[in-house]
Amino acid sequence: MKKNRAVISLIVFVLILGLLGYTAVFGVGSDRSGSASGIKLGLDLAGGVSITYQVVGDEKPSDEDMSDTIYKLQQRVENYSTEAQVYKEGSDRINIEIPGVSDANAILEELGKPGSLYFIAQTDSEGNQNYGGTYGVDADGNIEIQYILTKSIDELMADGSIVLTGTEVADAQARAQQNSMGNLENIVSLTLNDTGTTAFAQATQKAFDNGESIAIYYDDDFVSVPNVQAVITDGNAVITVPSGAAEAERIASTIRIGGLKLELEELRSNVVGAQLGSEAIRSSLIAAAVGFALVVVFMIAIYYVPGLVASLALCLYTELMVILLYAFEVTLTLPGIAGIILSVGMAVDANVIIFARIREELATGKTVQSSVKIGFSKALSAIIDGNITTFIAALVLVAMGSGTIKGFAVTLILGIILSMFTALFVTKYLLNVFYALGVQSEKAYGVGKEKKTMDFLSKRYLFFGLSAAIIVIGFVVMGINKSQMDMPLNYSLDFVGGTSTTMTLNEDMSIEEIDAQIVPMIEDITGDGNVQTTKVAGSNQVIIKTRTLNVEERERFADTMTTNFGVDASSITAETISATVSSEMQADAIKAIIVSTILMLLYIWFRFKDIRFGASSVLALVHDVLVVLAFYAVVKISVGNTFIACMLTIIGYSINATIVIFDRIRENLRDKKDKESLEEVLNKSISQTLSRSIFTSLTTFFMVAALEVFGVSSIREFALPLIAGIICGTYSSICLASAFWYVLRTKLAKKAAAK
């Protein structure tokens, strides 16, 4: 690259950086598209809609039916936000909280009346029409058939014209398939349960013989009236939707919501304010700025010109992340913001790997230009393998996870793609630009020093023993906690439910004032720091969620509010609420983690041609999870929604660090000298990557430590176990993963030789 071109390239980059920065901060156009302020925020940061449904009927619903309904509603409302929450209130109510929206009526209109879906035969047993159609004009001026029932639902039910109800539909999905002409068409694929399969086979036989249709009727409206073109006996039906993919998705979604086991009616709906005040956002932004500044200073101090280049690429990474979060409509909660801040610290990892390789090449006497080229080439496999492994896990979490897990995974995928782009393309391009501008001295890039090989492997049994002791201590403390608290970990409302208390204050108080004045008194009553507060918009009504309160604690709560704040005791109502992380969601999370772990194992096996590398990585991950669990048990940190995101972050962080070391082992095994032992190869590989492991941990530590110092209490509860996880993940990658591989290789080799 010539100098003139380099100058132009640098100017263009700075202009792009400025333009994207302006977009990320201020946005484009009157609606501020692309700006950070336009990103959807969760209920804790921006408030949203709270809707309470009551089960229709006098009989008390079973726990199984309530659980099934909550789970299906959770899947439905995630169309609005991955951070939406659904939980039981009392014995026959379901509460839905959807962040980032402000029109409760619009949500209610779209959700309709859950549990009121019917499949209706066109004619009854005597041939009388159950519904008829007339031609009309829709809102866009298009001619359409408008259907109307000729009987009431009760009459249709009595004469057997209701073919199916929504409860007999196991699933409904919008898809695209090829028709008989070879063209793609939009369809809705229905899967029925056993009862529905039998009933539908009889109904479709009658409709097919008479050339009739079967209408899908929901919430006093016709969803679709498809003609029956074949007898369906296997419980798998297809509805052709000629009006497009969006309409197919609407029909599928409506059928799913109508397939609830219970029929619900709206009891109340409110627009609620943010659970946390502006102080939470302000402190998070301060933490982001401080952490980012520390990372930049560290990178420049350690890596000189490459560190400056990495910092510029990191600025671009941050701007693009903000814009993509807006574009993909990702809903951010406070833990989500913490995850973004954390990803900035982890984004430098690829740069650290590259720069370490460049210095190694400079140490052999190669030119700067040649070292940069070779450094990128040698670092490529470690970067790709580490990121693809984590990417596989994130894809599984998106496909199988729900709620916070899915939101975390989407953010992780964006971070992985952006970090690879900025490291492999932007950083490389900028290094070539600076070189062309005349920054060609080896001193500006730092020449690597010969690394002394440290004998990690000889201390493997010491490391094994230390880790085992920590894990055993963790299980012992969990046992003690179980006997004292009736649970091994300090589970929060998200996992075990609690009490939701609603009261009306005599004066208008902000969330900050409530947190400062009221919450400490409640914490004194409950002895628990996990208190969640929300305020109903446009009123003085406050909703306070705590762990489950007994009768005495509820009375103390009411007395405290009456005495200190003059609250009318009659305005204070308390209801037991279920966990927001349901057992089905927990099961989904466990399944997703198991599947992603298996796929990571298979990928590592495929890439490294040795399943023991994959097995060792999984063992290291299990170790990290158990150690962090021990940390949660000993310190008694609240285990809530952020717990899952924390564990997933630690797993992704640890696997990435382990693969970097395994990549160097693979390389050194290829170049192994005849007299060089396996132990020497492993010790050399760990020593060569030691600075990378430490430096990456430090940059990530800076970001998380800033959260711990400047964050609000909920952020600190997320940051503290992450700090423990970073230390643990670094330790397991350096001291355990390679030792696991060595033991597996030597033990299996001995057994194979003995046969």
pLDDT < 70 regions, the chain: 43-47, 82, 109-115, 136-143, 272-280, 333-339, 341-343, 345-346, 401-404, 529, 582, 584-585, 641, 712-714, 748-755
Q: Can you tell me the distance from the alpha carbon of 477 to that of 634, in angstroms, rounded to the nearest whole number?
A: 6
Please check whether residue 378 lies inside any domain of the structure: yes
Per-residue pLDDT, 299: 92
Q: Say yes or no: 589 and 689 in one domain.
A: yes
Res 512: pLDDT: 74
Regarding whether 133 and 78 lie in a shared domain, the answer is no
DSSP string of 516-557?
HHTHHHHHHHHS-S--EEEEBTTSSEEEEEESPP-HHHHHHH
* Number of domains, the chain: 5
**Is the residue at 124 inside a domain?**
yes
Assess if residue 126 is contained within a domain. Answer: yes
* Per-residue model confidence (pLDDT) at position 161: 92
Residue 122: burial class (beta carbons within 10 Å; 0-12, 13-18, 19+): buried
631 shares its domain with 746: yes
Q: Pick the last residue of a domain from 577, 607, 640.
A: 577
CA dist., res. 223 & res. 67, Å (int): 27
Angle subtended by helix axes 641-670 and 368-400, to nearest 10: 140
CATH code of residue 68: 3.30.70
Q: What is the CATH number of the domain that holds 502?
A: 3.30.70.3400
Considering the domain architecture, whether residues 222 and 134 belong to the same structural domain is answered as: yes
Q: Is 409 contained in some domain? A: yes
Long-range contacts of 322-327 (CB under 8 A, 24+ apart): 322/24, 322/34, 322/35, 322/36, 322/39, 323/20, 323/23, 323/24, 323/34, 324/414, 324/418, 325/39, 325/411, 325/414, 326/33, 326/34, 326/35, 326/36, 326/38, 326/39, 327/34
In a domain, 267, yes or no: no
Domain shared by 599 and 730, yes or no: yes
Q: Which of these three, 115, 132, 156, is where a domain ends?
A: 115
Each residue of 191-226: pLDDT tens digit? 998 889 999 999 999 999 999 999 999 877 888 898
702, amino acid identity: F
Residue 338 is predicted with a pLDDT of: 61
pTM score of the predicted model: 0.74
> Please, are residues 175 and 126 in contact by the beta-carbon 8 Å criterion?
no
Same-domain pairing of 101 and 18: no
**Both tokens assigned to 690:** 């030691």
pLDDT digits (tens, 9 = 90+) for 407-465: 777 887 888 889 889 988 999 999 999 999 999 899 899 887 777 889 999 999 999 99
The CATH number assigned to the domain holding 251 equals 3.30.1360.200
Identify whether residues 182 and 288 lie together within a single domain.
no
**303 and 414 co-located in one domain:** yes
Tell me, what amino acid is at 321?
A: M
Q: Tell me: do 219 and 294 sit in the same domain.
A: no
Two tokens, residue 442: 């080896």
> In terms of residues, how long is the chain?
755
Residue 515 domain boundaries: 498-577
Please indicate, yes or no, whether residues 301 and 222 belong to a single structural domain of this protein: no
Measured in whole angstroms, how far is the alpha carbon of residue 311 from the centre of its chain?
27
Same domain for 630 and 748: yes
Query: Looking up tokens 């003690």, which residue turns up?
Result: 480
**Residue 315 sits in the same domain as residue 410:** yes
Neighbours of 524 (CB within 10 A): 10
Beta-bridged to residue 120, according to DSSP, are 162, 215
CATH code assigned at 608: 1.20.1640.10
Domain contains 121: yes
On whether residue 485 sits in a domain, the answer given is no
Residue ending a domain, among 577, 607, 624, is: 577
Residue-level pLDDT at 598: 87
Residue 214 and residue 163 in contact, taking contact as beta carbons nearer than 8 Å: yes
Has residue 352 been placed in a domain? yes
